[in-house]
Structures are given as C-alpha cells and as structure tokens.
Structure 1
C-alpha cells in the first residue's frame, strides 16, 4: 500500500463546499482516521467542523487511474489558520504530523508530501524569513521520516488573496508565492504548482470546491512528471470530469447509499433495497 502526507493550512485541509462537486468514490482509496485505513470520504482532513473539499482526493483519484490495482491512503495533518512558525521542528503540528506519518509507515510506503501554506504569513513582512523557515521545515520532515528523496509538491497562493473578505489582510501573498516557487526550485525533488485561475469561496481566502479539484489534478501532474506546473493544464476540465464519471462498483454504490441513509436522504427500505441489489451484483460477478 502507498500513502501521501497532507500538511499545511486550511487550503490543504479543504474548505470547498461539499455539495458543489460530485463525490469521489473509489474502493482503492483510503484515509487514516482513528488509527485505521478507512474508506476515503470527504472531508478527509477534519481539522474544523467547517472542513470540506480539499485537493488531495483529486490527486488520489488521478493516481489511482494510473495504478488501478494498487491502494493509496491519505494521511491528513493540515491545520487551518496555521502560520509557518507553527510547523517548526519541535512545534505540536510538526510533531503530530511526524507521529501520524510514522504510524502510517508501519503499513504503507509514503510516496509524496503535499504541502500548501502561506496565507497566514502574507502580511507584516513575514516574507523576509519565509523561505529559510520553509526550507528548514520541509528538510526536517524528510529527515524525521527517513525519506530524503520523497517528492514534495508545493502549491502556490491564489491571486484572489488580498482583495476581499477574510483574505483582505493577505497583502503580501505575491511575495510569499514567489518564495514558495523559489524554494521548490532550490530544494531537491520539490515541485511547484501554480494556483493561477483558481477561484475562492465567498470568504475570499479559501479555494472553492471546483478549484480544489483542479488544484489536485495539477498536484498530481507535478508528482507524475516530476516537474513544476506553471500554468493551468490544457485538458484540466476533462481530467476533472473523469474523476467522478467512472461506473461505480457494488461496494462504492453501497457506501454511497449508506451515507445517504445516515444523512436522512433516503428511507430504510430504500437503503435495504440497495443492499440487496449490491449483494446480487457481487454474486453475479
């Protein structure tokens, strides 16, 4: 089994509205929760009650399409509102991420680290020390996990920051974005992914759900090709659509029906009918 580590702040955790995009369902995708590899379900990174769609499920689904017989697990460790200083080597967030990753390494091979952070440092001249701190943080992660060459994918900051809503204070986002890109260029096996043309929730700071799907595809492109992604992908819309258009397996259908029943969106009789249909489908197969 393979796995990927999710670290950073809220745009890595995800704040996209869950009802704004079709769900990603895949028997081969898992998430680490309560010490178990559970079926992937959004939100994956529940750092807040308002957690929603993030970029990692799209990354995982794209990876699964290229590795249809393998299983991939997500290790969610992002924390909304966290500044880079809170990811220092001895800080609680870093210690927690390393602990979770070590636990995941008992049953999986970590093949990538997905990083997105910077909004909280886009003010008060934090950019003056940002690159040094970021390099130190990412190097420490690799060293602590004994993964000196693991690919690290770093996402850029979106252009809507500093314009309105909660993002109004992020006036130095362009400087931080440039430093993230420079860090990726100077750190071995690190790759930068642009946030160009991505759009926000009404709050002005969080990527909306459709943009998170696009961002995840870009992250996977950088990982797959081991190269920076400096512009939106030409086939991005088609690749996003492909994330949720495959025929569902019996297990995926049953999971979806279970979720709908738990949310009060279907009756018990309808749920049991779906269970019977799922069992019949497995028997026919």
Structure 2
C-alpha cells in the first residue's frame, strides 16, 4: 500500500508520469513527424559563428504559449518510451543538429483545442536535418528507424492518424534529383502505407518554402503533383524565414503547426 501511495505522490508532483511507467494504452492518436530540418524544428536556433563554414549554434529556449507542454500530448523518446512532450521535440532524434521549435507542438495543441474529445495525442519524431529523399528510401536506416518507432508507438492500441511530412529542400541541389523527386516520394509514401498495413493512411505533405539549390520550383511542382489517395497538401511558401534563408522562424513554425492541424481536421 505504501509504495502505491508514494507513486501517486510522485506522479502528482510531476516527478513521474504515467507515460514513463510504460502505459502505452494512454495514447489514442499517433502522428508521425518525418522529413528534414524544418519539421525537426529550427525555430529559435541562433548561429553564433563569426565566419562562413563554421557552425556554432544554440537554441534560445523561448517556448511560446502555442508550443507549451500539455499532459494530453506525449512524445515517443529516442528510447521508445512515452514521455510528456516538450520542445525541442527532436532533441534525441536529430542528434547531430541543434534543434529548436518545430510545428509538432503547435499542431498537437491546436488539434486538442479544436477537438477536445480526441483523446491523448502521441507524437513520433523521426525527422533528421539535411536529409534527401534517397536517404529515406525503403530499406535505408532512416526509413527502418521510422517504421520501427511507429510500430513501437502502437503497442498499446493507439491508432496512427497521419504522417506529417516536410522534406525536399535537399533535393533542389541537382536537376536529376529534382526531376526524380515525384517518383521517389510516391514510392516512399506507398511503402510506408504497405509496411504499416494502412493502405489509406492520411499523409499531410508540406510544400517547401526554401531550397538548398536552384531547383526549388521543380520540387514544389513535383510535390503538388503527387498522385496518391488521402493526401493533403499544406504550403509553407510565404511563411517567415529566418536569417539563414533556410529555416522557418518560431512564429512561422507555429503558423505551420496550426495549418497542419486544420488540414488534419478538415474532412476529406
């Protein structure tokens, strides 16, 4: 009896959460976050480097209200445990980069605000900055890791509700990659659905707003032309870009998260 009471006291104090105890049945709605840096999150990341080619970054630690933690929002950690979600969501996934604010928390908070009955949301961070679509090819490390993490997330019976995908900036570098993007991305989406046993899994794709090469419009055109069912498209173009001309600002990430939530909640 005493250990049980102690556990209740610790949980109430915030030192232990039910998710940490391995209760996977808490999570009712699972969302996969995958792609590259703009979904991993670079909002609030500051580059302190004084010369080109030198990277010395830190996150400013500012968490806007739209990105605050919520007991009804959990994240699957790098160790495959459910913990209460907080920024930066990808800190133990995108480990070779400095992570900041992304769209995941504003997405989840907006969904809960607009549909309070939806139940506990579980976010599965999988994104890695700077990755190309070929690095997400079925059978590769990133792909296998995403599928493994997603299957682990469903152990308690939670339902995979959508894949949130934001990637493509790295595929603007060469004409060949830009031309092949549509075929490669459709193949990726189809394999994800097959390997998760969900042929109609909702995919919410973000149209890129920046590029690492000269072929952004070719990649954007390919994204708009993806021909699979139950695909929703959210365009990031026009959102505020940071001083590095590559990453969305914190304010833009909040706006994007809200746009993703609206797309998810919008009937097909």
Is TM more than 0.5 here?
yes
Superposed CA deviations along residues 27-58 of structure 1, whole A, max 9, x for unmatched, are 10000012221111000012135101111111
TM value normalised by structure 1: 0.73
Q: CA 1:110 to 1:203, structure 2 compared with 1: closer, same or farther past 3 Å?
A: same
Query: Match of 1:246?
Result: none
Kept in 2, the 8 Å contact 1:5–1:114? The answer is: yes
TM value normalised by structure 2: 0.78
**Matched residue SS, 1:174:** helix
Tell me how far 1:111 sits from its aligned partner.
Answer: 0.5
Query: Match of 1:251?
Result: none
Q: CA 1:91 to 1:200, structure 2 compared with 1: closer, same or farther past 3 Å?
A: same
Q: Which has the higher contact order (CA 8 A, sep 6+)?
A: 2
Q: For 1:66 and 1:8, how far apart are their aligned partners in 2?
A: 26
Query: Match of 2:173?
Result: 123
Kept in 2, the 8 Å contact 1:189–1:226? The answer is: no
Query: Match of 1:145?
Result: 196
Query: Match of 1:247?
Result: none
Q: For 2:39 and 2:88, how far apart are their aligned partners in 1?
A: 11
Q: For 2:254 and 2:200, how far apart are their aligned partners in 1?
A: 27
Q: For 1:21 and 1:172, how far apart are their aligned partners in 2?
A: 34
Query: Match of 1:29?
Result: 73
Q: Which protein is richer in helix relative to its size?
A: 1
**Matched residue SS, 2:236:** coil
Q: For 2:162 and 2:68, how far apart are their aligned partners in 1?
A: 20
Tell me how far 1:226 sits from its aligned partner.
Answer: 4.2
Aligned-residue CA RMSD (Å): 1.4
Tell me how far 1:173 sits from its aligned partner.
Answer: 0.9
Query: Match of 1:205?
Result: 246
1:134 equivalent among 172, 185, 188:
185
Could you list the runs of 4 or more consecutive aligned residues of structure 1 that deviate by over 6 angstroms after TM superposition? none
Query: Match of 1:187?
Result: 228
The within-5 A match list for 1:18-97 is 18-19=61-62, 21-22=64-65, 23-33=67-77, 34-46=79-91, 47-48=94-95, 49-69=97-117, 70-97=119-146
Kept in 1, the 8 Å contact 2:179–2:219? The answer is: no
Unaligned stretches of 5+ residues in structure 2 = 1-27, 45-60
**Matched residue SS, 2:31:** strand
The within-5 A match list for 1:247-266 is none
